[in-house]
Amino acid sequence: MDDALRNSDVLLKSPAEEPSAFERARFEVLAPGTPLGRYVIQSFLGAGQCAAVYAADGPIGNVAIKVPHACWSHNAVLARHEATVLGRAACAAVVQLCDYADKEEPVYLVLERVRGQNLETMLRLHGPVSLAFAVELAIRLGRVVVELERSGIVHRDLKPENCIYARTPRDQPCLRVCDMATSLLTREFGEARSPASGVVGSIDYMPAEQYADSMNVDSRADVHAVSVILCELLTGDVPTRDEERNVELDWFDRGPARRIPRLLRRILKKGVAPLKDRYTPAQFLAALEHYAYFACLPRGDEAFSPSARRRPYVVGALLLAIFTVGVSVGACAAHARGDDVGGGQRGTAPHGAPSLPRAPAPHGNGGST
Task: Give domain status of residue 357, yes or no.
Answer: no
Task: Quickly state the pLDDT bin for 80 (edges 50, 70, 90).
Answer: confident
Q: Is the pLDDT of residue 111 over 50?
A: yes
Nearest to 265 by CA among 273, 88, 171: 273
8 A C-beta contact, residue 248 and residue 240: yes
The whole-number average pLDDT for the span 265-269 is 97
Let me know whether 206 and 59 are in one domain. Answer: no
Let me know whether 272 and 125 are in one domain. Answer: yes
What's the confidence (pLDDT) of residue 319?
54
Task: Give domain status of residue 360, yes or no.
Answer: no
Let me know whether 55 and 138 are in one domain. Answer: no
Out of 292, 315, 338, a domain closes at 315
Let me know whether 122 and 228 are in one domain. Answer: yes
Let me know whether 76 and 131 are in one domain. Answer: no
Let me know whether 131 and 233 are in one domain. Answer: yes
Task: Give domain status of residue 161, yes or no.
Answer: yes
Let me know whether 84 and 123 are in one domain. Answer: no
| pLDDT per position as a tens digit, 170-223 | 888 899 999 998 899 886 655 556 666 678 889 999 999 999 998 889 999 999
| pLDDT per position as a tens digit, 116-168 | 999 999 999 999 999 999 999 999 999 999 999 999 999 999 999 999 999 88
Residue 78 belongs to domain with CATH number: 3.30.200.20
Residue 306 belongs to domain with CATH number: 1.10.510.10
Domain region containing 244: 117-315
Out of 267, 284, 315, a domain closes at 315
Let me know whether 97 and 226 are in one domain. Answer: no
Let me know whether 82 and 173 are in one domain. Answer: no
Let me know whether 192 and 48 are in one domain. Answer: no
Let me know whether 177 and 266 are in one domain. Answer: yes
Q: Is the pLDDT of residue 358 over 90?
A: no
What's the confidence (pLDDT) of residue 323?
57
Q: Is the pLDDT of residue 366 over 50?
A: no
With residue 165 as reference, give the H or E element that holds it.
strand 163-167
pTM of the model: 0.77
Let me know whether 155 and 234 are in one domain. Answer: yes
What order of strands is seen across the sheet that includes strand 173-177?
116-118, 163-167, 173-177
Give the total number of structural domains in the chain. 2
Nearest to 46 by CA among 114, 102, 106: 114
Rounded to the nearest angstrom, the gap between the alpha carbon of residue 258 and the centroid of all alpha carbons in its chain is 21
| pLDDT per position as a tens digit, 42-66 | 999 988 778 899 999 999 999 999 9
With residue 185 as reference, give the H or E element that holds it.
strand 184-185
Out of 84, 112, 140, a domain closes at 112
Neighbours of 361 (CB within 10 A): 11
